[in-house]
Amino acid sequence: MESHLRAKGAQFYSIGLSYKKADAEIRGRFSINDEAQKAILAQAKAEGVPSLLIMSTCNRTELYGYAQHPFQLIKLLCEHTHGTVEEFEKVAYVYKSKDAISHLFKVGTGLDSQILGDFEIISQVKFGFRQSKKFDMINPLMERLINAVIQASKRIKNETEISSGATSVSFASVQYIMKNVPNISEKNILLFGTGKIGRNTCENLIKHTKNSHITLINRTITKARAVAGKFNLIVKPYSEIQSQITNADVLIVATGAQNPTISKELLYLKKPLLILDLSIPKNVSDNVTDIPEVSLVHLDHLSKMTDDTLSRRKTHIPQAEQIIEEIKKEFVDWLETRKFAPTIKALKNKLSTLSASEINIQRKKLTDFNEEHADILSNRIVQKITNHFANHLKDDDTATAESIELIQQVFQLQNKLS
C-alpha cells in the first residue's frame, strides 16, 4: 500500500495538532482562517504539492497531503499562521501513508473529537475539500479517500447511536426545558448573568424554541446590552430583577458570583417557575425549593446527564469502528486495483489480439469453421486467464511490483504505469 500512496514521488502525510496536547492558546496560534487557507493552497500548488486538504476548527488544525517530507507541510502551516515550528513540534502529530488514512477516518467520523460522535467535523472536511477543489489541489486518490470518509460518517450516523443525546450542558439545559415546559415558544424566559454556559444555553433556546420572550439582566448593563445585541434579547436593569422573576416561566442563572444571587426572599410567584442554576459555585440557594411553585435544576444534574450520554456513546464505538474498517477496506482494495489495472488491461488486450489472430488463421484453414462459437470460447478463456492474473496480484502474499514486471516481460507489454 505504501508505494501507491505516492504522487510524483511524494508520500501521503497528515500533520497537525489538537485539543489532546495543545491548549486553546496554542490552537489559536495555529488557527487557519479563510484567507490563510487560500494562501496555503496557492503556495502549495506553486511548490508542486500535488494534493492538499486543510482543516481548522476550534479543537484542531490539520493538513493532509503529499510531500517529499512532512516538514514541507509543517512549513506551509507555520508560514501562514502565528505559530512557530518549535511550538508545533511540542504538541504535534505526524502520520504517514496508511496511518494518515486511518487518522482521517477517525477524525471525519467523530471518533477523535473532543465530544465523542461530534458530526459537525464532517462539515469541516467537506468545506476543506471544496476549497481545495477550487485550487485544483485534489487528485483522484484524495477525492476517493474523502468520499469514503464522508460515506463512513453517514453510515455511522444512520446505523449507530453514537451521536444520540446531549453532550454539552447548554444543550442538555435546552432539552430539559423543552421536555418540562409545555409551549416553551410562548413562555417568558429570563437569563440572569452573562456566563458562557448561560449564553450558549440562550443561543440554543433561540435556535430550538423560536422564543421571542427572552429577557437578559446583568449587574453591569453594558455587558448585558453587548450580549443582547448578538442574540436579539430584551434587556432590563438589575433593579427590576424581582418583578422580572415574577413574570418569568423559566429563570436561567449564570452569574458567576461566589455566593448565591437568587434566594427565596427574591421570589414572589403567581405561577410555576423552573430555575436552572448553570453556575460554579452554585448561584441559587437551595431554600428556593421551600416555595411549592419552584422547580430547581443544578448544573451538576445537567452535567450528569451529559456524562451518561457520553458513557452510552462509548458503547457504540466498536460498531462505528467496524463500519470504518469495511469502508477503509473497500478503499484499500480500490487502491490496490489502481496499481495493476493498466497491466491487466494491457494483458487482456494482448490475449484478445492473439486470439483474434488465431481465429483468423483457422477461418482460412477450415471449411466448416464456426467463427461465432470460436469467438465465444476465446473470449471466455481470455477472461478466465486475466481473472487468474488479477486474483494473483490482489493476494496479500504477492510481491505485486515484481509480478507486474514479470507479466509485462513475458507478454511483451508496454509499461503503462506512471
**In this structure, what are the phi and psi dihedrals at residue 78, rounded to the nearest 5 degrees?**
-70, -30
All residues at 6 or more sequence positions from 7 whose CB lies less than 8 Å from its CB, including other chains: 50, 51, 66, 139, 141
Closest CA to 64 of 9, 118, 10, 22: 10
Pairing of strands 93-96, 234-235: unpaired
* Cβ atoms 196, 280 nearer than 8 A: no
- Residue 224 to residue 102: CA distance in whole angstroms: 46
- Residue 296 to residue 260: CA distance in whole angstroms: 14
Known catalytic residue: 78?
no
* Cβ atoms 198, 189 nearer than 8 A: no
- Residue 358 to residue 331: CA distance in whole angstroms: 39
* Cβ atoms 254, 155 nearer than 8 A: no
Is 202 strand, coil or helix? helix
Place of cell 427590576: 240
Q: Where are the alpha helices (DSSP H) in 298-414?
A: 299-314, 317-365, 371-394, 400-410
Alpha carbon distances (Å) from 173 to 151, 170, 299, 352: 32, 5, 9, 70
Q: Which of 1, 24, 58, 85 does the annotation list as catalytic?
A: 58
Active site residue ranges: 58
